[in-house]
């Protein structure tokens, strides 16, 4: 700055000189380092300039003290974005870090500039993805075009940011109408596995739960809406049910996300018929729901199995107009093929031609198989050997070229049923034969239980099935006494029903060989199977499961099932089947039916007169007739109504809570009392009122189903007892 004109006092010159010497040159802003514009001395002293000679003269007459206040028309404060004008120090003392790095500076480090730009790069990519994702969601809500939206998301790329799209889609729909919420749920189901990896969908919902506290600021009912979205995701198989418990562990106790997860579990997923309710929750604004599509798929698959008309089936697939949901067709067709083995061949032909003709693409086909692999453990509860059957279907589809196995999840071998070595199975069969032969001689059920626990300590399902097969096979070669003992032992072993089913399936599969030595194998197997149902070792629906293993209508298996059903439908079937081999169903063959009734009556009389409840329960167990416990219920109820003494009611309560009397036996007992109410009313006038009271108490205690009604009781006498 030029002070030669004498415009500044000596005090100002001294201050400026000391500041200039101490200032850091690098701290000077770019504006201050810019070269001065060239101008002539005349221009500085122009008459039009604020510092014209006239003004100078006026200022020069002032004292140094009054000269500190400038009366110039020019403002001396710093300019906006600049370092200031003459007489200001802001630029020289500025130490702001926003200065631009100078490559010519001796202290310049290129790594500083490089690292800074590298840190911002990922954020820029995510910000760009966020903007594009928002636009895609807005367009989807306007057009309702699922296929076009899926293509746009695929073109967008960046699968590692898929979680953000999930979060954005749900959060934007939460603040809109039911139509947009339903559209969001359908799009998520379409994107799952095809466009987004399941892990990204999982992460997206995790982010939503974590941000509930922020969402609730703009969306007051965020907790309820988000809980419904999570429940819908679980029902649509895009979120595992374990998501709730796992996510709960990562949240603070006072977080709103905890409220979301609790509401999802208690209010939605735990409700009766929750799947149907959840799928229809936003039905008001959408004409077609996921539930409707599933029903249509199920219906046309059933029609196809009956008619075999592929053209009609393909027309139905086209009319659905949900190419993103074709994996559901694959899944349901496979389940139907596994449940009804006769339908396996036509259903696989349908899927094969659908893949070849382009009705179902490769991605949807693989997704359908993958979804079935995920649920094979649950499916095994209803379909015996579901894992093995599914493995065969996968192998067949892959060999025919319409399924890419490399895109599927690995179908691990079922640990229990397939880890048994041949040597171990052979050894168990030999020991089993000696155990059963000793039992036929001694009749000691406890000893048999002890031996089985020792030989099959891990309770292996495959070994249990082998024991069932061996027991019935040996009994069929002997007299009625051994057949009766075999049935009694089977009801006393408490094997899981699935293991018993597997045993009977093995018996039916080997029936052709058995028929060479035993011409009446069909009649014997049918009687053993019917007896297992009467003894409640198997439920009636297990007969259908066994029927799925029958390969043809004329096979021995189908004949066994037909005869079994005929035996169970006959009048007084229960009593006839129980006494088919001369016994009464007890561990002591030869007991008559009336003897058992008499023993039950004496047992109840002894307890009513002051006996101990534990002793009464022990006597009931020793009878070895769990299938006849409805007689205990009937006699206890009749005695309670006649004598108005509720001591026997307490016995029923203890028996039910301990599992000694099952729900089915309890219902049978109440049903038999309802049938004899008219006769009972002759001796006890208020019998009907009392019985109605006890029925309500039984319902409140959970002994009876709410649908039980004795006013229009049409109880079928399955066991032929009155």
Which has the minimum average pLDDT: 53-57, 513-517, 575-579, 632-636? 53-57
pLDDT at position 592: 55
Distance CA 459, CA 416 (A): 9
DSSP notation for 490-544:
HHHH---HHHHHHHHHHHHHTHHHHHHH-TTHHHHHHHHHHHHHHTTSS-HHHHH
Burial class (CB in 10 A: 0-12, 13-18, 19+), 416: middle
pLDDT tens digits for range 224-268: 899 999 988 888 888 888 888 888 888 888 888 899 998 888 888
88-97: average pLDDT: 47
Which has the minimum average pLDDT: 9-13, 139-143, 210-214, 463-467? 9-13
Q: Which of 574-583, 687-696, 705-714 has the highest mean pLDDT?
A: 687-696
Query: Chain centroid to CA 86: how far?
Result: 76
pLDDT tens digits for range 648-669: 888 888 888 877 888 878 888 8
pLDDT tens digits for range 119-129: 444 568 888 88
SS3 content of the chain, % helix, strand, coil (to 5): 70, 0, 30
For 339, residues 6+ apart whose C-beta sits below 8 A from its C-beta are 382, 383, 548
pLDDT at position 274: 73
Distance CA 455, CA 468 (A): 14
pLDDT at position 31: 43
581-605: average pLDDT: 66
77-101: average pLDDT: 49
- Which residue has 């729900």 as its token pair? 663
18-22: average pLDDT: 55
Picking from 530, 552, 551, the residue whose alpha carbon sits closest to that of residue 542 is 530
pLDDT at position 205: 92
pLDDT surpasses 50 at 721: no
pLDDT at position 289: 62
Instruction: Calculate ∠ Cα 27-31-37, nearest 5°.
Output: 135
- Which residue has 């415009």 as its token pair? 7
Residue 719 pLDDT level (bands cut at 50, 70, 90): very low
Burial class (CB in 10 A: 0-12, 13-18, 19+), 83: buried
pLDDT surpasses 50 at 590: no
The gap between the terminal CA atoms of the chain, to the nearest Å, is 123
697-704: average pLDDT: 87
Distance CA 521, CA 513 (A): 10
pLDDT tens digits for range 168-200: 999 999 988 888 888 898 898 888 877 888 889
Distance CA 261, CA 267 (A): 10
579-602: average pLDDT: 65
The residue ranking higher by pLDDT, 475 or 582, is 475
pLDDT surpasses 90 at 285: no
Exposure string for 556-580, b = 16+ CB within 10 A, e = fewer: bbbbbbebbbebbeeeebbbebbeb
pLDDT at position 593: 59
Picking from 523, 431, 443, 509, the residue whose alpha carbon sits closest to that of residue 476 is 523
Give the percent of the chain with pLDDT over 90.
5
Which has the minimum average pLDDT: 216-220, 562-566, 610-614, 623-627? 623-627
The residue ranking higher by pLDDT, 14 or 377, is 377
Which has the minimum average pLDDT: 100-109, 404-413, 693-702? 100-109
Residue 319 pLDDT level (bands cut at 50, 70, 90): confident
pLDDT at position 628: 74
pLDDT at position 69: 46
513-529: average pLDDT: 82
pLDDT surpasses 50 at 299: yes
Distance CA 529, CA 533 (A): 7
353-358: average pLDDT: 87
pLDDT at position 209: 92
pLDDT surpasses 70 at 284: no
- Whole-number average pLDDT of the chain: 76
pLDDT at position 320: 81
pLDDT at position 410: 65
């Amino acid at each position: 700055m030029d002070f030669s004109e004498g415009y500044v006092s000596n005090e100002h010159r001294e201050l400026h000189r000391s500041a200039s010497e101490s200032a850091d040159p690098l701290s000077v802003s770019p504006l201050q380092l810019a070269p001065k514009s060239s101008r002539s001395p005349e221009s500085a002293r122009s008459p039009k300039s604020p510092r014209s000679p006239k003004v100078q003269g006026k200022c020069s007459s002032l004292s140094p003290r009054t000269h500190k206040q400038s009366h110039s028309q020019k403002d001396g404060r710093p300019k906006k974005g600049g370092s200031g004008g003459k007489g200001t120090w802001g630029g020289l003392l500025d130490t702001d870090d926003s200065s631009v790095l100078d490559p010519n500076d001796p202290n310049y480090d290129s790594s500083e500039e490089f690292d800074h730009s590298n840190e911002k790069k990922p954020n820029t990519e995510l910000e760009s993805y966020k903007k594009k994702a928002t636009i895609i969601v807005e367009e989807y809500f306007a057009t309702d075009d699922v296929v076009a939206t899926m293509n746009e998301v695929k073109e967008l790329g960046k699968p590692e940011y898929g979680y953000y799209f999930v979060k954005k889609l749900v959060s934007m729909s939460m603040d809109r109408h039911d139509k947009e919420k339903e559209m969001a749920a359908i799009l998520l189901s379409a994107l799952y596995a095809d466009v987004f990896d399941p892990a990204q969908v999982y992460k997206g919902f995790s982010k939503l739960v974590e941000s509930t506290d922020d969402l609730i600021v703009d969306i007051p009912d965020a907790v309820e809406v988000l809980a419904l979205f999570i429940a819908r995701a679980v029902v649509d198989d895009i979120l595992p049910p374990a998501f709730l418990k796992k996510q709960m562990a990562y949240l603070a106790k006072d977080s709103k996300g905890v409220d979301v997860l609790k509401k999802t579990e208690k209010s939605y997923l735990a409700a009766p018929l929750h799947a149907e309710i959840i799928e229809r929750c936003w039905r008001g604004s959408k004409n077609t729901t996921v539930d409707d599509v599933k029903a249509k798929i199920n219906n046309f698959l059933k029609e196809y199995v009956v008619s075999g008309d592929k053209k009609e089936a393909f027309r139905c697939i086209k009319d659905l107009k949900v190419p993103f949901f074709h994996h559901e067709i694959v899944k349901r067709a496979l389940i139907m093929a596994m449940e009804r083995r006769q339908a396996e061949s036509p259903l696989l032909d349908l899927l094969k031609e659908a893949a070849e003709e382009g009705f179902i693409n490769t991605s949807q086909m693989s997704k359908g198989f993958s979804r079935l692999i995920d649920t094979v453990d649950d499916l095994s509860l209803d379909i015996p050997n579901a894992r093995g059957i599914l493995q065969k279907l996968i192998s067949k589809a892959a060999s025919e070229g319409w399924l890419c196995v490399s895109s599927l999840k690995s179908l691990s071998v079922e640990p229990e049923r397939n880890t048994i070595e041949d040597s171990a199975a052979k050894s168990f069969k030999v020991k089993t034969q000696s155990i059963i032969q000793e039992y036929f001689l001694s009749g000691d059920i406890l000893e048999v239980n002890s031996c089985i626990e020792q030989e099959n300590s891990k309770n292996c399902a495959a070994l249990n099935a082998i024991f069932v097969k061996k027991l019935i096979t040996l009994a069929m070669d002997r007299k009625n006494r051994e057949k009766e003992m075999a049935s009694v032992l089977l009801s006393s072993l408490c094997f899981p029903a699935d293991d018993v089913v597997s045993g009977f399936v093995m018996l039916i599969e080997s029936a052709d060989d058995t028929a060479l030595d035993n011409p009446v194998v069909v009649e014997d197997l049918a009687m053993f199977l019917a007896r297992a149902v009467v003894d409640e070792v198997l439920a009636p629906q297990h007969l259908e499961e066994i029927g799925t293993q029958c390969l043809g209508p004329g096979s021995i298996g189908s004949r066994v099932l037909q005869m079994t059903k005929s035996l169970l439908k006959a009048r007084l079937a229960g009593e006839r089947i129980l006494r088919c081999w001369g016994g009464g169903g007890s561990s002591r063959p030869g007991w008559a039916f009336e003897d058992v009734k008499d023993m039950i009556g004496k047992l109840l009389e002894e307890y009513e007169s002051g006996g101990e409840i534990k002793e009464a329960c022990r006597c009931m167990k020793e009878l070895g007739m769990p299938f006849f416990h409805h007689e205990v219920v009937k006699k206890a109820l009749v005695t309670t109504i006649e004598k108005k003494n509720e001591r026997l009611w307490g016995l029923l309560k203890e028996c039910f809570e301990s599992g000694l009397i099952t729900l089915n036996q309890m219902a049978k007992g109440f049903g038999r009392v309802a049938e004899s109410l008219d006769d009972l009313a002759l001796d006890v006038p208020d019998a009907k009122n009392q019985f109605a009271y006890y029925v309500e108490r039984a319902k409140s205690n959970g002994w009876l189903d709410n649908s039980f009604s004795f006013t229009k009781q049409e109880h079928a006498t399955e066991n032929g007892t009155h």
